[in-house]
C-alpha cells in the first residue's frame, strides 16, 4: 500500500488548545496525494481545478464546499487560479458538533457520509453555495480566522461560535430537499437524523430500512459502507455520546441510573459496559475527571 504525506496538527494549530485553524490557498498549485490529522472543510472561492480522491476525480468551481476526513487521501490537479480556504477542525471537536447538528439529515450527508460520497461517480448532489451564501460564509471565515489570532482574549470560544455558524449554514443548505432526495447518502442521512432524534426510544430494522427506501439487506450493506458499523452499534455510540454530554454538564444532578434511562439504556450495568467500550473509561470515572 502506498504511503502518502500526512499533514500534522502541530504544523497548523499555533495554539495547542485551539479547536479550529484557517489556511488560505490563493492560486493553489497542483498537490499530490496526502491526508491529515484533522478534518478539513474546503470552500472554493474562485478558479477551477480537479479534486482527486482515490480513483475518482471531480471538477471544482466557486461555491463548492466539501469535507475531507483525516484518513481520506486526496489531491489537486490541473488547477487554474484556484482560490480556496481550508477550515481545519480537530476530530474531537467535530464529535461534539455532531451532538448539536446530528438531528439534521444535511449534517450526516455532508460529514458522516463523506467516504461514501467520494466513491460516487460524478460526485452527485454535491454542496455548491450560491453567490450570496458564498459571500456570507467567506465573511464568517474571516471572522473565525481573526479570533484564532487572539486566543487569550476569548478567541477560542468566539472562533468556535463562528465555526458553528458556518457549519449550520452548510448543513441547512445541504439538507434542502432531503425529504424526497433519491441520493443514497441523503437517504441514509435521514435515517441517522432519526436515530439521533429518537436516541432513547426503540428503533427497529424494518422501520429504518423503510425510512431509507431500501430493502433490509441493502440498507444494512449501505449503512455499514457509509458508517463503518452496524445500525445497532451506531445507535449505541450515539446514546453513549448523549450520556457523556449529560455527565459533562456541571449542573447536572442526575444519577448514573437516571442518565442511563434517559439515553435509552434500561440496564445500568449494560450502560456502564457500553460506555467503557466507547469512551475507554467508566461513566463514574468520566464524570469525576471533568
State the cell numbers at 177: 430537499
Measured between alpha carbons, how far is 111 from 117 in angstroms, rounded to an integer?
10
Q: What are the b/e assignments for 186-212, b being 16+ CB within 10 Å? A: bbbbbbbbbbbeebeeebeeeebbebb
Measured between alpha carbons, how far is 26 from 133 in angstroms, rounded to an integer?
20
The pairing of beta strand 64-68 with beta strand 39-53: antiparallel
Q: What's the pTM value of the predicted model, to 2 decimals? A: 0.77
Domain locations in the chain as residue ranges:
6-175, 178-229, 234-288
Listed as ranges, residues in the chain with pLDDT below 70 are: 1-3, 114-125, 175, 177-182, 199-201, 250-252, 290
- pLDDT score, position 24: 95
- CB neighbourhood size of 280 (10 A): 9
Q: How far apart are the first and last CA of the chain?
A: 41
- pLDDT score, position 290: 62
What CATH architecture does domain 234-288 belong to?
A: Orthogonal Bundle (1.10)
- pLDDT score, position 119: 55
CATH of the domain spanning 6-175, picked from 2.60.120.280, 2.60.120.20, 3.30.420.40, 3.30.413.10: 2.60.120.280
Amino acid at each position: 500500500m502506498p504511503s502518502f504525506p500526512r499533514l500534522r496538527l502541530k504544523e497548523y494549530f499555533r495554539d495547542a488548545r485551539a479547536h479550529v485553524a484557517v489556511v488560505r490557498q490563493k492560486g493553489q498549485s497542483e498537490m499530490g496525494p496526502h491526508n491529515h490529522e484533522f478534518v478539513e472543510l474546503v470552500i472554493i472561492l474562485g478558479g477551477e481545478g480537479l479534486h482527486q480522491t482515490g480513483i475518482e476525480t471531480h471538477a471544482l468551481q466557486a461555491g463548492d464546499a466539501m469535507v475531507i476526513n483525516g484518513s481520506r487521501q486526496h489531491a489537486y490537479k490541473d488547477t487554474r487560479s484556484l482560490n480556496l480556504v481550508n477550515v481545519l477542525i480537530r476530530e474531537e471537536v467535530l464529535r461534539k458538533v455532531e451532538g448539536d447538528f446530528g438531528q439534521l439529515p444535511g449534517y450526516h450527508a455532508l460529514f458522516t457520509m463523506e467516504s461514501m460520497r467520494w466513491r460516487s461517480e460524478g460526485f452527485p448532489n454535491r454542496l455548491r453555495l450560491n453567490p450570496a451564501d458564498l459571500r456570507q460564509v467567506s465573511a464568517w471565515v474571516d471572522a473565525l480566522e481573526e479570533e484564532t489570532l487572539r486566543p487569550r482574549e476569548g478567541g477560542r470560544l468566539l472562533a468556535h461560535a463562528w465555526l458553528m455558524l458556518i457549519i449550520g449554514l452548510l448543513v441547512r443548505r445541504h439538507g434542502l430537499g432531503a425529504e424526497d432526495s433519491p441520493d443514497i447518502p441523503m437517504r441514509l442521512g435521514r435515517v441517522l437524523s432519526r436515530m439521533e432524534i429518537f436516541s432513547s426510544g426503540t428503533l427497529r430494522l424494518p422501520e429504518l430500512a423503510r425510512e431509507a427506501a431500501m430493502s433490509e439487506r441493502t440498507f444494512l450493506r449501505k449503512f455499514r459502507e457509509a458508517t463503518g458499523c452496524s445500525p445497532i452499534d451506531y445507535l449505541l455510540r450515539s446514546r453513549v455520546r448523549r450520556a457523556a454530554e449529560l455527565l459533562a454538564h456541571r449542573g447536572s444532578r442526575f444519577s448514573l441510573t437516571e442518565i442511563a434511562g434517559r439515553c435509552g439504556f434500561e440496564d445500568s450495568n449494560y450502560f456502564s459496559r457500553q460506555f467503557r467500550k466507547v469512551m475507554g473509561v467508566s461513566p463514574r470515572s468520566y464524570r469525576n475527571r471533568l
